[in-house]
Chains A and B, each alone.
Chain A
Amino acid sequence: MKRAFGAALIAVGAALLLYVGYRYVSGAYERDAARTAWAALEAHNAVASASSLTAAPTHTTYAAGALVGRLLIPSVRLDEVIAEGVGDDELDAGPGHLPGSASPGEPGNAVISAHRDRHFHSLGRLAIGDTVITETRTARTTWVITGRKIVGRYQPSLFPSLEPELTLTTCWPIRYVGPAPDRLILTAKPLVTPPRA
């Protein structure tokens, strides 16, 4: 009887591990696909900008799941492609841009969120003064982190801004078993905003 129960437990545990592994592997696969797509988009954008002198739109909107840009944080060696949306599918592939928030580099608050156990696992190591770089189709912006706070899950933490602002969010504590009760909020201001070549 005990042996049978033990076998059942092993089977259930194996099923759980298989599911977790599948989610991580599929996330990694989607992340690679997003990187490839972003590289192609950048190449296409370079050709388009070289052959056209049309001004970039002031406010860019994206379709759900569309590629928004690239996020680089040199101090923690983070290099991820940002997709539009903060649903499970988008956050599996990489950091998600919150719909309705500004595009990174444009006037307004651009909000980017990701899972703490995957793409933003190193976000807890960032401190005020660290540099963040965002690249979109229209702008490459260097940001400096100016605020770091931990808030409750339902505590208001996102606010509009007239000036360009970047907000990075993930769950907190970073190493927490189960749904983390808090959120880590990092806010950044643009350091330099040179126009995209």
Chain B
Amino acid sequence: MSFKHIPLLVCALVALTVTAIAGAQFTAAVVPPRAKAKVDTTLKQDSVRRATVALAARVVDMKKWVDSAAGVSIPRDSAPPAKSSDSLAAVKAPPTKDSVILARNARVRSDSAASIGTVELHDSTGLKGPDSAKTAPPASSRKAPEDTKKFASGAPAPATASMLPFLAIAGVTTILAGAALRKH
């Protein structure tokens, strides 16, 4: 073997490396993809908006809500009470500016509860909730989970996959191919 054979050797090494990497990619592709439920994006955006509004109303009116829940009498004024069958919205609160917002969002609250349920349903199907929908990277750029090195609840089994059988077969095949080339 002389120096002119070095490029050939390098080519063979590169080919083997690429084969190994391609094999790993193919293996990754064998894993069945997660089932994706059909998601109406307009509904998702709407549920995000309603959940945000409901949260704002809940935080702003928290003191009133606590007072009313504790049975503290609160003076009423002329504004009509919130008409809603929702138990949260039926809280007796003074019709201040905040409570008007609350009353206006009474329906929103009940809807937001439903939207929270929807979020949980999405999570159970492997999809992200409304909040994470904004920040979640696309599926193509999502990184594979790291191998388990320490016990944790719900962790996948440790990575015990071995490349040695593949390398052994690749080695034997390469030798046989080389021998065949030399014979001809």
Residues of A within 8 A of B (CB): 2-17, 19-20, 23-24, 85-87, 91, 96, 98-101, 109, 111, 113-118, 120, 151-160, 169-171, 176-181, 183, 185
Distance to closest chain A CB from B22 (angstroms) = 10
- If A17-B172, A100-B150, A179-B27 touch, whether A8 touches B157 (CB-CB below 8 Å) is no
Give the contacting residue for A8; candidates B8, B26, B179, B180; CB below 8 A: B8
Verify B160–A160 contact, CB threshold 8 A.
Answer: no
Verify B151–A17 contact, CB threshold 8 A.
Answer: no
Give the contacting residue for B162; candidates A101, A116, A154, A158; CB below 8 A: A116
Per-residue 0/1 for B20-48: is the Cβ within 8 Å of any A Cβ (1 yes, 0 no)?
00011011101110000000000000000
Name which residue of chain A comes closest to B173, CB basis: A13
Chain B interface residue bracket vs A: 35 or more
Chain B, 143-184, CB within 8 A of any chain A CB = 144-145, 148-184
Verify B5–A181 contact, CB threshold 8 A.
Answer: no
Given contact pairs A99-B151, A179-B161, enumerate 5 new A-B contacts (beta carbons under 8 Å).
A8-B178, A91-B160, A151-B157, A171-B160, A177-B166
Contacts of A2 in B (CB 8 A): 181-182, 184
Distance to closest chain B CB from A117 (angstroms) = 5
Name which residue of chain B comes closest to A120, CB basis: B160
Cβ of B69 < 8 Å from any Cβ of A? no
Verify B167–A19 contact, CB threshold 8 A.
Answer: yes
Cβ of B13 < 8 Å from any Cβ of A? yes
Contacts of B24 in A (CB 8 A): 178-179
Give the contacting residue for B178; candidates A7, A19, A115; CB below 8 A: A7
Contacts of A23 in B (CB 8 A): 164
- If A2-B181, A19-B167 touch, whether A100 touches B157 (CB-CB below 8 Å) is no
Q: State in angstroms the CA–CA spacing of A150 and B60 once bound together.
A: 51
Verify B182–A16 contact, CB threshold 8 A.
Answer: no
Contacts of A85 in B (CB 8 A): 149
Cβ of B16 < 8 Å from any Cβ of A? yes
Contacts of B79 in A (CB 8 A): none
Cβ of B121 < 8 Å from any Cβ of A? no
What would be 6 A-B contacts, judged by CB atoms less than 8 Å apart?
A6-B180, A10-B182, A13-B177, A14-B171, A169-B157, A178-B24
Distance to closest chain B CB from A62 (angstroms) = 12
Q: State in angstroms the CA–CA spacing of A117 and B165 once bound together.
A: 7
Cβ of B1 < 8 Å from any Cβ of A? yes
Verify B164–A24 contact, CB threshold 8 A.
Answer: yes
Verify B162–A86 contact, CB threshold 8 A.
Answer: no
Contacts of B165 in A (CB 8 A): 117, 176-177
Per-residue 0/1 for B35-78: is the Cβ within 8 Å of any A Cβ (1 yes, 0 no)?
00000000000000000000000000000000000000000000
Verify B181–A159 contact, CB threshold 8 A.
Answer: no
Verify B168–A7 contact, CB threshold 8 A.
Answer: no
Distance to closest chain B CB from A79 (angstroms) = 19
Verify A10–B179 contact, CB threshold 8 A.
Answer: yes
Distance to closest chain A CB from B3 (angstroms) = 11
Contacts of A171 in B (CB 8 A): 160-162
Contacts of A176 in B (CB 8 A): 165
